[in-house]
Structure 1
Amino acid sequence: MGTNSFLKVLPEMVTFLRVAELGSFSAAADLLGMTPSAASRQVKRLEKEIGVQLLQRTTRQLRLTEPGAEAFARCRELVLAAQGTMDIAQQFSQKPSGLVRLSAPKAFARRVLHPHMLGFLQRYPEVDVQLIVEDRDIDPIREGVDLVVRLTTAPPEGLVARQLMAVEHILCATPRYLARHEAIAHPRDLLAHSCLSLGEHERDNHWRFRKEGEDEAAVVVSGRYVSNHSEIRLEAALADLGVACVPAFVACEALREGRVARVLADWEFQGNYHGHAWILYPPNRFTVPKCRVLIDHLLGALAGSDGSDGPGSLSASSAKSARPRAGS
């Protein structure tokens, strides 16, 4: 390939990158605003220019060839460099300004981030924020998002990961439900109760507990309502349907108002979804003032919090043992 001949296939490189990331010509075409056939032609042109096959196409899936995997890594670097180039003016500006696109899971965005965004916007009047509320994992590089909050114990490689807060799960029920049913003093007492669990996996109803000075306890619970969304489980608990497991940040307002009460508060609930909230971003994002001030604002606001006392809580909270899908 000649010295400048790569210039004519820059769009093809971007198309190939999106096709490889999404594993589909149709999905990439939707993202890029073109037809699937146009996306396919662009990838074929790139393969012709480079002189190697980049994708193995079958009726069911697309796979990167060995040279395709190398090209994918280089094209990803290219997009990162392009994004960094677009931010040069911001990097040399002393005053944060412009739009920051921030993605976070629904419950966490509403219960934890949103209250802190209002103060941030007042403090930085020239910075705008687009809060993208999505429960799926968003790739900030592929989808053009500046910052991503993810609740997990295993931040992905290739991104800077800063820990925002621990995520603790608790059990709760309404005072009315607790008054009408048998007392719960030990995890085994849950066997006589309707327990509201996730139901994503068969072991989601295997609840484990630990208490200092006592043996660990484990029970297999059952209940009338199962949902993989924490706010739905809380609403079910508020309707007196049983004992719900939810993240502390979801239940904090209802706890504070007395609408629900902690169950087995002297036991540590060791469900499958303890973890941490992380803010993720490509390495070049922190150098942009508008992103840096938002990252610092959230790190400062959430330091030491597990969300159990509500937004802005600074109560000391040690990190719990953790597993993925912390925000379910």
Structure 2
Amino acid sequence: MNLNDVNVFVRVVEAGSFVGAGKLLSMPPTTVSRKVQQLEANLGVRLLNRSTRKLSLTDAGEQYFCHCHQHMLGIEEANQWVSQAQTYPKGRLRITAPLDFAVMYVQPWINAFLMRYPEVDIELKLTDHQVDLIEERIDVAFRSGVLSDSSLVARRLLPKISVCCASHDYLARHGAPVHPRQLTDHQCVLWGNAVQGQSWHFRSEQQQLDVPVRGRYAADATQLLIEAAVAGVGIAKLPRPLVEPYVERQQLRVLFPEFEIPSGNMYVVYQSHRYLSQCVRQFIDFVLQQLPD
């Protein structure tokens, strides 16, 4: 069924003639008449009684008009809503981010965005794991590491720089290593679900190192690793921005400051398609504006 033919029929009834409908639709009366005939042929029923003086609805046509008129009004309202949403952000925005990154960055961005755009609702899903954006109906994701899905767009936000750190209590009990190679003699707090088979990468002006590490505790949430390091469980490799408050409070001490520990980048990720909603587009642009030059 061609909805355009249905719309033409509704306009004919509203205008009372093919000529009047043609003016509303900017098409010749003959085209209007042909489209109504096509609609009647597809339905297998006459909708209009035609005479040289006027048009009138058949019983079937009257019932059909009542139903179609309401639906066409609904479609027009939907079209207007979508067009307005493309001009001014409104609607629901679903976002996912790791907990630690959300606390430090995403939540302040969301707060400011909600204040600026009162017709936007946001649902935030916190996870340190990558989720399927389509399956989970996610609009925007904040991720680090390698992007495996080529159908997604990833825009770089910030570099991820980590540091090795430990509590003063741990260092008092086990000694403070002065070089990354000495980590093999220490307990480390490890990212992930396994306490074996991990190594940490270090880089300085003179050398690059891959140091195998071991430990008795592994977790896949950064905040838990921080708490474990503060409690003296072992030496942790953690994002520098998250560690700084603990260093300032002397709960943690940074080790090997002459070495960099590159950990990739943080990206904002979204589905790649031509007609990106204004809500998603505005949020991404807003986030990028918050970043330092």
TM range (shorter): 0.5 to 0.7
List gaps (5 residues or longer) in structure 1: 5-85, 305-328
Say if 1:171 and 1:262, in contact at 8 Å, map to a contact too. yes
Moved over 6 A (4+): none
String of CA shifts for 1:26-65, please: whole Å, max 9, x gaps: xxxxxxxxxxxxxxxxxxxxxxxxxxxxxxxxxxxxxxxx
The residue that corresponds to 2:279 in the other structure is 290
1:243 to 220, 235, 240: 235
**Cα gap change, 1:218/1:160 in structure 2, threshold over 3 Å: closer, same or farther?**
closer
Percent identity of equivalent pairs: 32
The residue that corresponds to 1:184 in the other structure is 177
Counterpart code for 2:123: Q
The residue that corresponds to 1:232 in the other structure is 224
1:263 to 255, 262, 266: 255
Equivalent position SS for 1:149: strand
Shift of residue 133 of structure 1? 1.5
TM-score (norm. length: structure 1) = 0.58
1:196-211 matches, within 5 Å, as 196-198=189-191, 200=193, 204-211=197-204
1:33-52 matches, within 5 Å, as none
String of CA shifts for 1:145-194, please: whole Å, max 9, x gaps: 22122222225211222222222222111233334432322112323322
Shift of residue 296 of structure 1? 1.4
**Cα gap change, 1:192/1:201 in structure 2, threshold over 3 Å: closer, same or farther?**
closer
Aligned residues: 217
2:104 to 108, 111, 134: 111
Q: Does 2:120 align with 1:100?
A: no
Shift of residue 103 of structure 1? 1.4
TM-score (norm. length: structure 2) = 0.64
Shift of residue 265 of structure 1? 1.6
Equivalent position SS for 1:141: coil
**Cα gap change, 1:291/1:175 in structure 2, threshold over 3 Å: closer, same or farther?**
same
> For 2:164 and 2:83, how far apart are their aligned partners in 1?
46
Shift of residue 238 of structure 1? 0.6
The structure richer in strand per residue is: 2
1:300 to 286, 289, 292: 289
**Cα gap change, 1:190/1:88 in structure 2, threshold over 3 Å: closer, same or farther?**
farther
The residue that corresponds to 2:52 in the other structure is none
String of CA shifts for 1:44-101, please: whole Å, max 9, x gaps: xxxxxxxxxxxxxxxxxxxxxxxxxxxxxxxxxxxxxxxxxx7973454432222211
Say if 1:100 and 1:129, in contact at 8 Å, map to a contact too. yes
